[in-house]
Chains A and B, each alone.
Chain A
Amino acid sequence: MKSVEEIKTAIEAAVPGAGVKIIPNPGPSAQHSLQLDPRTAIDVVRFLRDDPELALDFLSNVTGVDYLDKEVSEKVKVTRPVTKTVDGVEQTVEETVEETRKHTEPGYLEVVYHLFSMAGKHGPVILRMRTGNRTDQVELPSFTPLWRSAEFQEREVFDLFGVVFSGHPDLRRLLMWDGFKDHPMRRDYKEPDDFEYEPTAHDEVLARAKEHQASGRGPTVTVEAKQ
């Protein structure tokens, strides 16, 4: 089994300008991963699958990870001229001050792939791809045309995280129903107060009861208004 560095070298030799980065894993498992550039990802994974030495024919696991927008504050040393009165004389002195600056690092969605080789019985090789942000640049290339095993798993990542896989032949929600709006595995997901996504006959009964009460002829039991 080749190390991540060797795989990276092999990829760069086979796909020029692949733009592969190594993401080290500081934990004891030492499962380091390779970050792919979405523009060249299909060529890279096709090489990984078809290369006779690597022969990563088995895409085991596809999953998403959500990273929220992060507010980063960093201390910056700033030098600026300050006017001071020294011994009754006004002077302009350069002074170095520490300032705290805040900026927001945009969050992103990440898709993680675990590849193994059934022919060579080695693995895992871990690949990751990141979207531009969490809202409008969420498109990544689909690996389903290369591995059928990604078909349901990419649908699940689309459903629960909201990553759009371009080139997926049948990109629908997998676990939630089609009319559902949000993506429940995102870290800022808030569950709705009411899961009834379409009006039911029950709503009409409640509305009629409310009207009846308002007219003063109804029972004194209060019926909670439906939001």
Chain B
Amino acid sequence: MKTPATTSGHALDWNRPPVFEAEGEGELLEVSMGPHHPSTHGVFRMDVALDGERVVRLKPVFGYLHRNHEQLGQSQSYLGNMPYTDRLDYFCSMTNNWAYALAVEKLVGQAVPERAEYIRVILAELTRVQNHASAIGFLIQEMGASGTPLMYAFREREKILDLFESLSGSRMMCNYMRFGGCRVDPSPAWLDATRKVVAGLPKFVDEFEALLSSNEILMARTQGVGVLRPDLAVNAGITGPMLRGSGVNYDIRKVDYYGIYDRFKFLVPLGDHGDVFDRYMVRVLEMRESIGILEQALKEVPAGPIMDSKAKIRGFRPKPGEAYGRIEAPKGELGFYLISDGSPNPYRYRVRPPSLINLTVLEDMCLGQNVADVVLIFGSVDIVLGEVDR
């Protein structure tokens, strides 16, 4: 393989992936990975060009799950769109609800009662734990460890989804948050059940780590694979565990302190090398930090109303204006941008999908790697196609 040369022809400082050339003529093999490849987590396609085992070009192809979510959101009322946000990242409907509720609350200047803030934090951190556990489970599954780690993760996820079900009525499509609070008040029994689940989580993470973190195969397959430089990560708008795996300290919970995140003590884990292993490790450590937040929050859930008494539900018409609200979702920065023209429907409703934007650097990470590692690198991005294609 020749040395990579950068693309020329762009006058500006364009941070392009390097271009590789095959050694002989006509030796490139073009492979279409997906849309039904089992490792693509849904329907997603990568146009890959291979020189032997090595990737020389990779172009992601989107849109197989596109349903014009934003146009749907503009065709109905603000509240009517809440259940649709569940379907974006269907692993983390609670955080989707929260991000949307946060944006609308910014748009109308709505306050949220304290009890609802605590419940939101608890649900978001539970979501983060189950999302990271499953993401790691899928990553290991793609490495060939068929079943066991994924089933360990899903066992724990099932406990958390049971909590979601008993609170909201649905395991995955929760539709739980409202503008100015939450839909139902959790009972003391639910809080006790949550405490019990949370008390069991550290043991699960210990077990998970004992099984995986020092595993020789995992280290050999992931260390030094799919390296993402921090400067490119920032320039490409990467957020979430992927950004922090590259060593950039940026966690929206610590930057914006939205909700009541200023009240909890937690650390932001950072990676050193920006490879697949660091992304794996950051997720494991974030699970531990989330469990810490959960323990703090569950100790001090205050009594009180779950909905703000001034919150308007019928005839909800925000004054003309716009707002951008964002949260640290398990996959990265999930933002909602809303423009109101004073009517009951949003004039413009936009989702900033972390999964799609984190895929910007997929080609940069995969170039020069073996085709078997593409599956791992892709798995370490942690995407959900419902959010990528919207």
Contacts and interface: CB of A to CB of B under 8 A. Distances in A.
A112 to B, nearest CB: 7
Given A58-B237, A60-B352, A26 B324 contact: no
Given A28-B108, A29-B109, A175-B63, A61 B14 contact: no
B316 interface: no
A132 to B, nearest CB: 20
Contact of A61 (B7, B12, B232, B350): B350
Interface in B295-333: 318-324, 326, 333
Nearest to A114: B324
Interface string A111-141: 0101000100100101000000000000000
A152 interface: yes
B234 interface: yes
A37 to B, nearest CB: 18
B25 interface: no
Contacts of B234: 57-58, 118
B371 interface: no
Q: How large is the interface on B (under 10, 10 to 19, 20 to 34, 35 or more residues)?
A: 35 or more
A209 interface: no
A152 B106 contact: no
B337 A114 contact: yes
B235 interface: yes
B12 A175 contact: no
Given A118-B234, A189-B71, A61 B63 contact: no
B37 interface: no
A220 interface: no
Interface in A169-212: 169, 173-177, 184-185, 189
Interface in B243-300: 248, 250, 255
Q: How large is the interface on A (under 10, 10 to 19, 20 to 34, 35 or more residues)?
A: 35 or more
B102 to A, nearest CB: 11
A175 B71 contact: no
B323 to A, nearest CB: 4
A40 to B, nearest CB: 15
A146 B13 contact: yes
B35 to A, nearest CB: 13
A213 interface: no
Contacts of A167: 10, 12
A27 B318 contact: yes
Contact of B63 (A112, A121, A176): A176
Given A42-B12, A121-B250, A169-B16, A149 B236 contact: yes
Interface of B: 7, 10-16, 62-63, 66, 68, 70-71, 106-109, 232, 234-239, 248, 250, 255, 318-324, 326, 333, 335, 337, 339-340, 347-348, 350, 352, 356-357, 359-361, 389-390
Interface of A: 25-29, 31, 42, 57-61, 63, 65, 112, 114, 118, 121, 124, 126, 144-153, 160, 167, 169, 173-177, 184-185, 189
7 closest cross-chain pairs (CB), A and B: A27-B321, A149-B237, A28-B109, A145-B12, A29-B323, A148-B236, A175-B63
